[in-house]
Every structure is written in structure tokens, then in C-alpha cells.
Amino acid sequence: MRKRLQQLGKLITEYCEHFNFRPFVDSAPILERPLAEKAGLGWVGKHSLLLNKEAGSWFFIGELLIDIPLPVTVEQPDNNDLTETKVNDCGHCVACIKICPTQAIVEPYVVDARRCISYFTIESPDPIPLELRPLMGNRIYGCDDCQLICPWNKYAKLSLENDFQARHQLDEITLLTLFSWEESYFLSAFEGSPIRRIGFQSWQRNIAVALGNAPWDIQIIEALEKQLANASTLVAEHIHWAIKQQQLKSPSNNTNSINSTNNNANNRLNARLIRSVEKGLPRDA
Ligand code: B12
Ligand code: SF4
Ligand code: SF4
């Protein structure tokens, strides 16, 4: 997207003599959502992301900063599509707030990043807070639950762009296979992908937690124990946590009631999300 904005900037240079520009996509301290809302691209939904009637929220926001004065739009003419999208069309819906596995949407339009799975699986290099680990389920890189449940995303069209297609059969792969990857393989498999930026430590940390959350399986315990030998202190701590979770769920030790209460609440949310995706977004199922 940034490359395309660059091309657009270059194209404008052909028409303007004194013109400087700089493209941005999620790359600078610019409040992109309020800017996009003011530009008439849609409205900020209760999950805090920008929504558009045709595209839902499945898009990134990019902007081209320029140094020529543009005419200011003071009023949208009647019958203009933009006038329509200025309205906040969330209505009484609160589906995103209810489905969030960690209750990170603390009030409509406000996300507490410290509780958001996207933050602690992608941005944070620190240990994942203990109380949030069981709620993370098998999400190992970001989270889209608040978007998957959103009724407006039923109208969004699938992107045909190559960059948005699944690579390396990642949509079919198991957690155990991902966990067995060496660092060199991780780096080469994610060449050019934003996943590479989180680094191998965070990658293994996230998968360890997801394996801890998986149903009991002796193969999982074996894989976790195997990786302990080469794990960093951060990853090792998560592996120990995961082994403990697996042991608690083992058929011979199924007595941890706090653990199973948490799991039941999360399983109910997951089941609701899966039903909604199967009904409204089967292409994403
Ligand atoms: C920090 C950040 C995060 C953090 C915090 C998210 C948050 N909701 O604040 C974390 C890591 C959790 C995160 C997660 C995700 N993010 Co993010 N994130 C950003 C980033 C870099 C900054 C957002 C920000 O400013 N937060 C700071 C606080 C202050 O924001 P805020 O409180 O919501 O701001 C509001 C008020 O200030 C108020 N306001 C209204 N009018 C005005 C006017 C003025 C002048 C001011 C000052 C304020 C203001 O409205 C603002 C917007 O709601 C933006 C890119 C960018 N540069 O904007 C991407 C961005 C918002 N993220 C994006 C995406 C895709 C995601 C994820 C879906 C990724 C994923 N799959 O895991 C999740 C979704 C989680 C969620 N429900 O928000 C996209 C959203 C695209 C869209 N359609 O809206 C963006 C725009 C990046 C991009 N260029 O595409 N993200
Ligand atoms: S991305 Fe996931 S954890 Fe973050 S607010 Fe949305 S549903 Fe909640
Ligand atoms: S799920 Fe409902 S409340 Fe949340 S952003 Fe979508 S329409 Fe708005």
C-alpha cells in the first residue's frame, strides 16, 4: 500500500511543479482513524476501527502527506455517498464488545491495548500476563474476533491481491508444526511478512501459550519439553506454564475447577464466534 501511495505521489509530481509528499501506512504517530473518518471514508466503530458500508473494516488505512494547499470541503452535497457514511452505523449493536475474549473493549470506541491480544502477541516483547494467557486460546499473531463478529464485514469483498493470500499453507498448518520450526526457517518463511517483525522469541512464546490452551495431548507435552532445552528464559517460562496447563487437563488430573470455569466461558465465546462466521462469513471460516 505504501508503494502504491509512493506511485500516486510521483504521478501528482508530474502535474505540480513544487510538490513534496510522504506516504504513511501504520508507520508514524498520525491518528489515522479520525483522519480517515474526517475524509469521509467511513465511521469509527465501537471496536475502534474504521468501518465502511461496502468494505466493512477489512482494510488498512494509508495517507499521503503533501505540501500544497487543497480546497477545503466545507459541506457535502446532498445525495452524495459520503454524506451517508458520515453517520455512525453501529446503532445499538454491541457484538464486538461482547465477543472480545479478554474484554479489551472497555467501553464503546475504547480499546485497552494492555488487554488486547493483538498487543500482547504482536507488539509486546514481555511475558504475557498470566491472567490473560488462558483467554488467548490459539491466537498466536494478532486477533480479529471483534471484526469477525461485526455484521458490516459480511458485505466486505475478499481481496484478490497476492499479498493478502495465505502463504506456506499457513491456513492449514498445526501449532505443533509451527512450534517445531527452527529460527532460520522462521526467518526465511516470513521473509517480507509483518510476522517476521515480532521475532522468533515472541513467536515461540505465543505458540507455547496456545499449546498450553489446547486440549490435553501427550504429543504437545513432549514437544514443549523438547523445546525447553534451547529456549530463552522468556520462552522457557511460557513453556513451563503450558506444560502445567496440559498436566491440569490430563485425564488423570482433571480437578482444577478455576481452570475449567475459564475454559468453559471461553469455549462458549468461541462457539458463538464460529457459528457467526459459518453463517455470515463462510469464506473466512
Ligand atoms: C496503537 C495501535 C494499536 C494498538 C491499540 C489499538 C487502539 N484501538 O488504540 C493495538 C496493538 C492494540 C492495535 C491492535 C489492532 N490494530 Co492497530 N493501530 C494502532 C495505531 C498504530 C495507532 C492507534 C492510536 O492512535 N491509538 C492511540 C489512541 C489515542 O487511540 P484512540 O484512543 O482510539 O483515539 C481516538 C481518540 O483520540 C478520538 N479522536 C477522535 N477525533 C479526534 C481528533 C483528534 C485531533 C484527536 C487527537 C483524537 C480524536 O478518536 C480516536 C480514534 O478512535 C494505528 C495506526 C495509526 N497511526 O493510527 C493502528 C490501526 C488502528 N490498527 C489497525 C489494525 C488493523 C489493528 C488490528 C485489527 C490488528 C490485528 N489483526 O490484530 C488490531 C485491532 C484491535 C482493535 N480493536 O483496535 C488499523 C485499523 C484499520 C481500520 N480499518 O481501522 C490501523 C489504522 C493501522 C492501519 N494503518 O491500517 N493497534
Ligand atoms: S482484537 Fe481481539 S482482543 Fe483486541 S479488542 Fe478485538 S476482539 Fe478484543
Ligand atoms: S460489531 Fe456492531 S458495534 Fe461493533 S463495530 Fe461492528 S457494528 Fe459496530
Of 220, 271, 223, nearest to 248 (Cα)? Answer: 220
**pTM score, whole prediction:** 0.91
Active site residues: 26
pLDDT digits (tens, 9 = 90+) for 144-202: 999 999 999 988 888 888 888 888 888 889 999 999 999 999 999 999 889 999 999 99
Residue identifier of the C-alpha nearest atom 8 of ligand 2? 100
Per residue in 256-267, pLDDT (tens digit) is 555 565 677 788
| Segment 15-43 mean pLDDT | 93
Residue found under cell 499479498: 163
Measured from the Cα of 99, ligand 3's closest atom is 1
44 lines ligand 3 (CB under 6 A): no
Question: How large is the average pLDDT for residues 137-142?
Answer: 96
Q: CA 266 from chain center: how many Å?
A: 18
Q: For ligand 3, what atom is nearest to the CA of residue 51?
A: 5
Proportion of the chain above pLDDT 70, given as a percent: 91
Which is it for strands 21-24 and 63-66: parallel, antiparallel or unpaired? antiparallel
Query: How does the average pLDDT of the chain come out, rounded?
Result: 90
C-alpha cell, 150: 461485526
Residue nearest to atom 7 of ligand 3 (CA): 90
Other residues' Cβ atoms within 10 Å of the Cβ of residue 194 = 11
In the chain, % helix, strand, coil (3-state, to 5) comes to: 50, 5, 45
Mean pLDDT of 31-36: 95
pLDDT at 82 over 50: no
Q: What is the pLDDT of residue 200?
A: 98
**Domain map (residue ranges) of the chain:** 2-85, 95-158+172-284
Residue whose CB lies within 8 A of the most ligand 2 atoms, among 44, 46, 47, for a mutation test: 47
